[in-house]
Structure 1
Amino acid sequence: MEMKNIFNILVDIKEARSIIQPIVTQNDSVVFILEVMENGVPFDLTGATTVSLANTRRDNNVVLTQGTKVGNKATFILNSSETAIAGSVVAMAQFYDVNGRVSTLSFPYQVVVDPTGNGYIPSENEATLIEIVLNDGPLIIQSAEDAAIYANEQGDYALQVATDNETRYLNAVSSVASRNSAYPNPSHGDTVRVTNISTSFRYVLGTGWVVTDVYNPTVIDNINQQLAQVSKLGEVIDLSKWGIKNDGTNARATTDGINNALQWYSSNDYRHVLLPSGTFLIDSVNESGTAKSRNIDTGIKIPSNMIFEMSSDTILKVESNASASYACIYLSKTQNNITIIGGQIHGDRKTHDYTGDPTHSTHEYGFGIYLYGASDIIIDRVTIKELTGDGIILFSPGLINYDVNNPYAPPSRIRISGCVIDSSRRNNISITACDQVIVENCQILNAGINDGIHDGTAPRYGIDLEGYGEGSIDYETPLKIIIRNNKLVGNVNTSVGNFNGYEVVITENFSDNIISYGFGTDTIISNNVFKRIDNLKIAIGSLGVSEGKDGNHVTITGNTINGFNVGVDIRGKNVTVMGNNISNVNTSILCFQAEEVLISGNIAWKCAVDAVKILQSKFVSLIGNSLRDTLFGVRIEQSSTNIIINNNSVDEYGTGMKITGGSCTIKGNTFNQGNYTTKSYHLIFDTNVVVLIENNVFKRPGSYVIFGTGGSGTGRARIIKNVIEDFTGSSPVFFSTIGKYEFISNEIISGLTSGIGTAVYLVSGINNALIIGNKFYATTSHVLTNAINTSLASNSKIISNVCLNGGITSAAGDVLNGNIVI
């Protein structure tokens, strides 16, 4: 049999479990077989493509162990690196597929030192035990007898030391007199603390009471208080004592019983209270409240400074009602420093009576957890579903600088982690006011869906950041929010909407719908993955600049977007879009009514319509992007001005760039139409545009490489130092409409092998064009019909051109000077 130390370990991806801690020896052959669960149910690992175990050793180095999996079990064979450092090791199994990663909760194991060094294995030449006994037996026996005598002597000495230092602690007394009366016949080693003089005494036989310690009484009192607190952690609520039903009946008595129990535990300094398994029917309506405020001071009210924990199968079920508003758990501004762990909250969405409260017919104010000004709150691993309004809402009882008797008190320092929030009728999470919130590692699912019984109600967002304001005045502000590492799927209208929040970071999430910075200020949207298969919706969206603000100050970076209608929709002012990867969309980046925008270092490919489209915008810089496999590389329309398009790579396109109206600079770009199915223009502009086209390279184009057409001729086109390589069409540079053209110091290389061709062609009506210092030659033996043809135009200035392929056909009145035609 192969010698292996095999440990079978039960782990869970959501629910903490106690296990017998494995103890392994360095250099042993160790195998961990992990049975993976999700809330106690076997977790299928079939779809996992990679299985690994992250081992964090005592020296804080992390060693990865690759594993195998079958069903819900994963097997890991530890190597010497995992056990190289003796001491505690914390391990976490991680499972990957094409869409992401799932991790188990961590578990510890202990590494003990190998007593033989680097792993002792006896050799075949070493003597056996019986050989040693036969050869060296007498000497070994004598040594053993000597050792026994020495051990007996040392044992007698140790016994005497123990007797001399024997100590038995007796109950403390208030004075020396009390000591003498309480312990009139002390024994050797009795030790007692006398509190009025802060002194400890020990009784020594033959000597009497002697002082052993003078202590600090405050320290002793603090320790006793801490020990008392420790003894009050993790108290399970006694349901029968408080009249609480866990069978889904008697909502009023159950709600009162839970609240009374929590208050009693709080008053008696219990800090960690557990609600056991079962279904608890909760009366979530404040009947004395107005129709819109019946969710105030209702449901479960957890006292301050308490951990309220529920088992994974504990359900707080909202009793069906007809109120437009309710709250299952309510935390006001006087309730702080609270942690809610585990359990489930079920709303009454499917059984609610929507005919009640006709003045508030939307019934959108039924909440799972209502933070009404509460602060220092943790909501951890709670499942919340099917509320008539929101799963969780953060709201302030007052407004900013509005009413001194009801001051603004936003929920502050809130953490929502590891939760599943599903199928809320309005939003899964709403934040109207806050200061410092983290939402992380949650599943935010199906907000606002039509469940077959009742439709959702607007806005139907996964997470809605939306404070109240009028004009440029904020009365509520969602402030300093981090939304990270969440799964946002199935939310009807939006995954995350930052309508008007400040300092919002949205990072490392998975989303199948829009994440919008709205009118928000100082927003970062980074390293998210967006995935759809229907080419609908916008992945990253916007609305504009909030009234009274100087800009949005938004950064969008490192996101991966696939399968949407629009990848990034930019609006507002001061926006950076950098380093994103966008594919299989209709339009990769849309810039509409925006200004002060930087679009840089992005990859846009497989775009059915546009890689980049700019409309009614100004001061937009498009720099260093890779645009590929798209009908239009860049389109600039509707009087967009001060547009810079520099150092981009545009490949495999129908039309490389199209500019209609406005002004732009196009420098240092590379165009390669490649084998795109439907080929058209490379760079086309109308004659209303003020455009500088400089130092661009066009590789192996057909006709109409640079094409001026349309418009009234009020613009100006300056085309300088461009290279057109191996063109194969009849007219690579074609000016077909009245306008102002300057064609200077360009290099045009023909790749034609047959047929007619003119490198630069001007049509009737064009006046005073400048064609100066250009070079025309070919890589084939075929000769162009014309290098330059201005015969239909008038007053052209044709100066210092070198025509090594094709001649010059000019009009009467043209100025020709210094040209070389060979």
Structure 2
Amino acid sequence: MMRYTLEVEKYGIYCDGTEAATTTAGFNQALKNASEAGICEIDIPRGIYLINGVNEESALKPEERAGIIVPSNMTLNLHPEAEFRVAPNGSFGYTCFYIGEVENVTLRGGKIRGERYQHDFNGHGDFEKKETHEWGYGINIHGSRNVTIKGVDIADCTGDCIMVNAQGMLNVSWTTYRPARNITIKDCKLDGARRNNISVTGGEDVKIENNEITNAGINDGCMPMFGIDIEGYGEGDIDYEEPRNVKITNNTFAGNVAQSVCNFSGYEVVISGNHSDNTISYGYGTDTNIENNIFVRKDKKYTAIAGLGVSAGFIGNNATISGNTIKGFSSGIDVRGADVTVSDNTISELSVDGIALATFEAKNVKFSDNTVNHCQGKLCCARNSRDITFEGNELNDSDITAMEIIDSTNVKAKSNDIKRSKQGVVITRSSAKVIDNDVDLTEYTNAAAYAIAFDKGSDVFIKDNRIPTPTNMAIYGESVEGRTVRIKDNDITDAKCLIPIYVIGGKKHEISGNDITFNRTASGGYGIQTKNTDGALIQENIVHSVSGFKLYSPIKTDESINSRVIGNKISGNLALNKTDIETNNIPI
């Protein structure tokens, strides 16, 4: 492979930051000559090079075929003290290095500086005016393949530091679609672009690794202001560009205004091993993995991991969120859309106003084996969602509630370990199964509320939960006719409260197989109490005191009607209504 050191004087290239037009033309002539001569690697010496980044022959796309135009089969080695500065202009688009419809290109080292802070945002020259002026790029990879950008320092562009995009459009008859393919961006410093530091709109097999990606959108930037934006253009369920198979690994994100990474509409995206101080989102993306990232803030702002919904024409996101560590944000993981699994994440020190694990307008979501500590706000919340599972999570230290289920359908809370929180599970206007959980509120420093509670608008199945030493009601709920309440086989031990299980209202509830022991320091208490219910079945429960103090009554149904109190093992006398059926109860 032939290698050549660029002869700047030969081509009229100025190294002192002047004469943009002459310098740009000199570079392009030098690269053209080298390519025709079979030279595949060029070393560019130190210097300050002023570049005309505007294609003045294109009124609609001045950023295309502009600036330094890199040919195929070319490696450019930029000296560490080679700095390329885009000449100040008033165009809505420009490019410093254009890698367009070529192949086998490497750009290595050096610095690229946009003219963001010298740009004339009121100007547009002879071009069609686009008021946002967001198409100014440091490097424009346009419909090319086999491109590597390595160790380049890029900053201060009016648009993006690096744009990866397609030539032409999908699903139209008048153009050929050529996405950028096999693109690698690594070991770069990308800072302070006005819009995004990297955009991938029409690219396939894109690898973004080991970069420092900082401050996108600062100083009154232009939306969306992401560190990395993966966003193809489409309308409804028709894609005109597709970002596909993008891997974002081991990067550092800091100070990007809106988000660190957003997979707004990409396919097969992996976001792994990064360090982030802002949101990473699967957006409307499909087949996204967000795994083993570290999220750290100190001001308890923003959501660490988020989503937006399901892309038009698809049934789900198929997103996996696993192994992430989140600390010091407002909220942890906010799931929207469908078909999402969230597992083995560790979340701590969130805002009291935030939620560690949440869904909103989501369906078919499973949260499993996550650990939440030292978070004062809600630890889990399913809201306006359906088919949601919280399983095997360790949930600790809430001053509000460990789990809230509100306006949702078919929510399952199974085998979770809840400790040191004010409340365990609160169910509002929802259908929920609460099964096999440990709800231990004994170490909560203030007065604890209910271990499990539900309202009149809910259908509940509460089974096999373990609730030690409740100082307030272990299971409390209100119901109405037409709602289902089943409370079975729960183990409530050493109760200090007056009423471990209390249900008000509704019809034909089942309260069976529960084991309730009292360990009070004074006489009194009702093991199971109903009020204003009709036809409740209270069967095969065990209610007794392990201290020397007697209960008022183990089962109290005298404020309800038609209760069936059958086969319970009890200490003390039943308090029944005259309409009740009582049989086979055994004193102990």
1:221-252 superposed Cα distances (whole Å, 9 cap, x missing partner): xxxxxxxx3xx22x210111111111101111
Question: Contact 1:689–1:714 at 8 Å: present in 2 too?
Answer: no
Q: Is 2:153 the counterpart of 1:388?
A: no
Cα distance in 1 for residues equivalent to 2:94 and 2:417: 56
Question: Contact 1:369–1:393 at 8 Å: present in 2 too?
Answer: yes
Cα distance in 2 for residues equivalent to 1:755 and 1:366: 78
Q: Is 2:319 the counterpart of 1:550?
A: no
Q: 2:444 aligns with which of 661, 676, 694?
A: 676
Q: Is 2:503 the counterpart of 1:738?
A: no
Question: Contact 1:432–1:467 at 8 Å: present in 2 too?
Answer: yes
Residue identity matched to 2:166? S
1:716-770 superposed Cα distances (whole Å, 9 cap, x missing partner): 111111100101011111113334421101100101121421111112x211111
Q: Show the counterpart of 1:287.
A: 56
TM-score (normalizing by structure 2): 0.97
TM-score (normalizing by structure 1): 0.70
Q: Is 2:476 the counterpart of 1:476?
A: no
1:78-227 pair list within 5 angstroms: none
Per the TM alignment, residue 456 of structure 1 is displaced from its structure 2 partner at its CA by 0.5
Cα distance in 1 for residues equivalent to 2:276 and 2:471: 41
Q: Show the counterpart of 2:471.
A: 702
Q: 1:780 aligns with which of 544, 547, 551?
A: 547
Cα distance in 1 for residues equivalent to 2:434 and 2:477: 14
Higher relative contact order (CA 8 A, sep 6+): 2
Cα distance in 2 for residues equivalent to 1:336 and 1:533: 44
Q: Show the counterpart of 2:490.
A: 722
Question: Contact 1:637–1:661 at 8 Å: present in 2 too?
Answer: yes
Q: Is 2:568 the counterpart of 1:808?
A: no
Cα distance in 2 for residues equivalent to 1:564 and 1:590: 14
Q: Identify the range of structure 1 (431-440 vs 531-540) with the bigger mean alpha-carbon deviation.
A: 531-540
Q: Show the counterpart of 1:572.
A: 337
Q: Show the counterpart of 2:413.
A: 645
Q: 2:129 aligns with which of 359, 372, 376?
A: 359
Cα distance in 2 for residues equivalent to 1:376 and 1:741: 67
Question: Contact 1:687–1:714 at 8 Å: present in 2 too?
Answer: no
1:523-602 pair list within 5 angstroms: 523-585=288-350, 586-602=354-370
Larger radius of gyration: 1
Cα distance in 2 for residues equivalent to 1:476 and 1:751: 67
Per the TM alignment, residue 332 of structure 1 is displaced from its structure 2 partner at its CA by 1.2
Q: Give SS of 1:257's match.
A: helix
Q: 2:177 aligns with which of 408, 411, 416?
A: 408
1:505-562 superposed Cα distances (whole Å, 9 cap, x missing partner): 0000011111000110000000000111122111101011101112110100000001
Q: Show the counterpart of 2:94.
A: 326
Cα distance in 2 for residues equivalent to 1:740 and 1:548: 44
Q: Is 2:21 the counterpart of 1:252?
A: yes
Cα distance in 1 for residues equivalent to 2:552 and 2:441: 25
Per the TM alignment, residue 690 of structure 1 is displaced from its structure 2 partner at its CA by 1.5
Question: Contact 1:282–1:318 at 8 Å: present in 2 too?
Answer: yes
Question: Contact 1:687–1:717 at 8 Å: present in 2 too?
Answer: no
1:423-446 superposed Cα distances (whole Å, 9 cap, x missing partner): 000000011111100000001100
Q: Give SS of 1:261's match.
A: helix
Q: Give SS of 1:513's match.
A: coil
Cα distance in 2 for residues equivalent to 1:762 and 1:746: 15
Q: Which runs of 5+ in 2 are unaligned?
A: none
Q: Is 2:143 the counterpart of 1:373?
A: yes
Q: Is 2:169 the counterpart of 1:399?
A: yes
Structure (1 or 2) with the greater helix fraction: 1
Q: Give SS of 1:752's match.
A: coil
1:10-25 pair list within 5 angstroms: none
1:241-280 pair list within 5 angstroms: 241-280=10-49
1:570-627 superposed Cα distances (whole Å, 9 cap, x missing partner): 1111100010001112310111111111110100122222110001111111111111
Q: 1:424 aligns with which of 190, 193, 212?
A: 193
Q: Give SS of 1:792's match.
A: strand
1:644-672 superposed Cα distances (whole Å, 9 cap, x missing partner): 11111011111100001221111111010
Q: Give SS of 2:69's match.
A: coil
Cα distance in 2 for residues equivalent to 1:634 and 1:373: 49
Question: Contact 2:171–2:239 at 8 Å: present in 1 too?
Answer: no
Q: Give SS of 1:259's match.
A: helix
1:19-98 pair list within 5 angstroms: none
Question: Contact 1:660–1:688 at 8 Å: present in 2 too?
Answer: yes
1:365-400 superposed Cα distances (whole Å, 9 cap, x missing partner): 110001111111000000000000100011112111
Cα distance in 1 for residues equivalent to 2:65 and 2:463: 68
Question: Contact 1:688–1:716 at 8 Å: present in 2 too?
Answer: no
Per the TM alignment, residue 692 of structure 1 is displaced from its structure 2 partner at its CA by 0.9
Question: Contact 1:401–1:407 at 8 Å: present in 2 too?
Answer: no
Cα distance in 2 for residues equivalent to 1:462 and 1:738: 54
Q: Is 2:218 the counterpart of 1:449?
A: yes
Q: State the superposition RMSD in angstroms.
A: 1.2
Per the TM alignment, residue 820 of structure 1 is displaced from its structure 2 partner at its CA by 1.5
Question: Contact 2:523–2:550 at 8 Å: present in 1 too?
Answer: no
Cα distance in 2 for residues equivalent to 1:735 and 1:712: 11
Q: Percent identity?
A: 38
Cα distance in 2 for residues equivalent to 1:444 and 1:567: 22
Cα distance in 2 for residues equivalent to 1:755 and 1:492: 61
Cα distance in 2 for residues equivalent to 1:740 and 1:397: 67
Q: Give SS of 1:619's match.
A: strand
Question: Contact 1:628–1:651 at 8 Å: present in 2 too?
Answer: yes
